[in-house]
Amino acid sequence: MTAKAGVVGWPIAHSLSPVLHGHWLKQYDIDGSYERIAIEPGTFPQRIAELRAAGFRGVNVTVPYKEEAFSLAQKKHQAAQITGAANLLVFTSDGEVGANNTDASGLFDSLEAALGRISLGGKNIVLLGAGGAARGAAFGLQHFGHVAKITILNRNKDRADGLVEHLRQYLPEAKFLTGGLEDWPDAAAEAWLVVNTTSAGMKGNPPLELDLAPLPITAAVCDIVYNPLETDLLKRAAARGHKTIDGLGMLMHQAAPSFQAFFFEEMKGKMPEVTPALRAALVGALNAR
Ligand code: ATR
């Protein structure tokens, strides 16, 4: 029987998940499907129950349902607990729903793939933003990367303080500093990596206004935004000679554990590969929009 999975959200037409999972289904020659499923507001729990009854193995979850998906699950992985949001629901054979958030590991895996297996251990990171995306990123960098210090800078500094207060419950040993964007020059001077998690620079939003001059040329710059693929921040960083990492890295790496979970038997427990061909398929889909 065809193994079924999909992505749920509202709206859902723009999700790139079917491109990712469709590419892997073909690559590994799996008798499986991965659909886009629109869920109307107010109907999430019923629709999830219907999908389970229809034989789905699980679903990815995108806006606006990541928090509701987390609440609905009985089993919650640590990354989902810390972020209070799930991008992956797995329907287990014992009738339960498991929730995970693979964004945190996805960012870490993409950084490791781009910067080499030297690990982020002992490095200073500047994280821009303090919203939902920053929460997963800060947790992932500390939990998987064991970095020396993360300086979280946000336009509204109180929000950065709130985020760190929350994270300290789970990561009491981790070193976090906070600041406003006016603290950027000092933080930048000692950064090994800068990660932008703000929505500035996303298509339709103004670019992030940040002078890159204080940043050592050895620092890498990562933007988790992938639409556009080269944000103004990445463009300016590349022009100065910084190593840059765009948002497709995280997108591909956050999808891999979902695919592994949905098609565990067919993959014999293995993770699907993140390859240049997969990236090319995504770039093609973005260009076709
Ligand atoms: P998400 O869940 O995607 O992180 P969010 O919770 O709305 O979305 O957070 C958006 C983040 O981008 C916030 O850190 C926001 O800063 P504020 O908390 O000060 O609002 C940041 N952001 C959005 N537009 C920005 C801009 N033009 N300049 C700087 N930061 C911006």
Per-residue pLDDT reduced to its tens digit, 138-184: 999 999 888 999 999 999 999 999 999 999 999 999 999 999 999 99
Q: Beta-strand (E) ranges in 101-212?
A: 124-128, 149-153, 176-179, 193-196
Strand, coil or helix: 1: coil
pLDDT of 145 reads 87
Query: Residue 118: pLDDT above 70?
Result: no
Q: Rounded mean pLDDT of 222-248?
A: 97
Q: How high is the mean pLDDT of the chain?
A: 96
Residue to probe by mutation, ligand 1, list 63, 135, 198, most atoms within 8 Å of CB: 198
Per-residue pLDDT reduced to its tens digit, 28-82: 999 999 999 999 999 999 999 999 999 999 999 999 999 999 999 999 999 999 9
Query: Residue 124: pLDDT above 70?
Result: yes
Quote the percentage of the chain above a pLDDT of 90.
95
pTM: 0.95
Given 66, 76, 123, 149, the catalytic residue: 66
Q: How far apart are CA 173 and CA 176, in angstroms?
A: 9
Q: Specify whether 66 is catalytic.
A: yes
pLDDT of 219 reads 97
Residue to probe by mutation, ligand 1, list 67, 199, 202, 227, most atoms within 8 Å of CB: 199
Instruction: Pick the atom of ligand 1 nearest to 159's CA.
Output: 18
Per-residue pLDDT reduced to its tens digit, 6-39: 999 999 999 999 999 999 999 999 999 999 999 9
Quote the percentage of the chain above a pLDDT of 70.
99
C-alpha distances (whole Å) from 138 to each of 9, 62, 105, 151, 163 are: 25, 20, 11, 9, 9
Strand, coil or helix: 89: strand
Q: Are 79 and 25 in contact (CB under 8 A)?
A: no
CA 120, 121, 127, 130 dihedral sign is: positive
Q: Are 104 and 140 in contact (CB under 8 A)?
A: yes
pLDDT of 273 reads 98
Q: How far apart are CA 108 and CA 89, in angstroms?
A: 21
Tokens representing residue 126 in the block: 């500047």
Q: Are 127 and 152 in contact (CB under 8 A)?
A: yes
Residue 132 Cα to ligand 1 middle (Å): 9
Residue 144 Cα to ligand 1 middle (Å): 24
Q: How far apart are CA 204 and CA 37, in angstroms?
A: 25
